[in-house]
């Protein structure tokens, strides 16, 4: 009986300490948000490092960053979320209907 109680305590500790965060993410949808965050980071890193002299459009970013695996609508939503944080901004030219994106944060660390 003591061995059985010890086994229950060990299983409870395992579930409570080690598996609590993945289980919480599983039930609350945290994994999807983590995936979206990783995609936002990929876009932001690309805009910050590779676009000093060019301003890519949404379709160009979908192709270059995600190799065409993400739709333009999804990439546009991710870019709008990043724009909400003030890290990038969209630029529309008069003769061009597509939005172009530029990194706005200064590199003063």
Please compute, for residue 15, the number of CA atoms within 13 A of its CA located in the half-sphere on the CB side: 6
Q: Tell me, yes or no, whether 48 lies in a domain.
A: yes
Compute the average pLDDT of residues 78-105: 85
Q: Tell me, yes or no, whether 14 lies in a domain.
A: no
The reported pLDDT for the residue numbered 5 is: 93
The pLDDT of residue 107 is above 70: no
List strand residue ranges (DSSP E) for 1-109, in order.
88-92, 99-103
Q: Tell me, yes or no, whether 9 lies in a domain.
A: no
For tokens 């994994």, name the residue: 31
pLDDT tens digits for 14-56? 888 887 788 788 888 888 999 999 999 999 999 888 656 778 8
Q: Tell me, yes or no, whether 109 lies in a domain.
A: no
Total domain count, the chain: 1
Taking all residues of the chain, what is their mean pLDDT, rounded to a whole number?
A: 85
Q: Tell me, yes or no, whether 1 lies in a domain.
A: no
Please compute, for residue 98, the number of CA atoms within 13 A of its CA located in the half-sphere on the CB side: 12
Cβ neighbours of residue 65 closer than 8 Å, sequence gap 6 or more: 42, 43, 46, 75
Question: Which CATH number is 61's domain given?
Answer: 1.10.10.10
Are the beta carbons of 102 and 47 closer than 8 angstroms? yes
Q: Tell me, yes or no, whether 23 lies in a domain.
A: no
Range of the domain at 96: 29-103
Token pair for 29: 């949808």
Token pair for 23: 């289980």
Q: Tell me, yes or no, whether 12 lies in a domain.
A: no
Q: Tell me, yes or no, whether 5 lies in a domain.
A: no
Whole-angstrom Cα distance, residue 18 to residue 15? 6
- What letter does residue 41 receive in the DSSP assignment? H
């Amino acid at each position: 009986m003591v061995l059985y109680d010890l086994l229950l305590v060990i299983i409870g500790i395992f579930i409570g300490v080690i598996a609590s965060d993945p289980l919480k993410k599983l039930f609350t949808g945290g994994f999807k948000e983590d995936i979206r965050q990783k995609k936002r980071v990929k876009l932001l890193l690309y805009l910050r490092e590779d676009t000093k002299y060019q301003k890519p459009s949404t379709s160009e970013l979908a192709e270059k960053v995600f190799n065409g695996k993400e739709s333009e609508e999804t990439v546009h939503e991710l870019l709008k979320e990043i724009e909400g944080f003030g890290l990038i901004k969209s630029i529309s030219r008069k003769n061009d209907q597509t939005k172009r994106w530029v990194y706005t944060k200064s590199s003063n660390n």
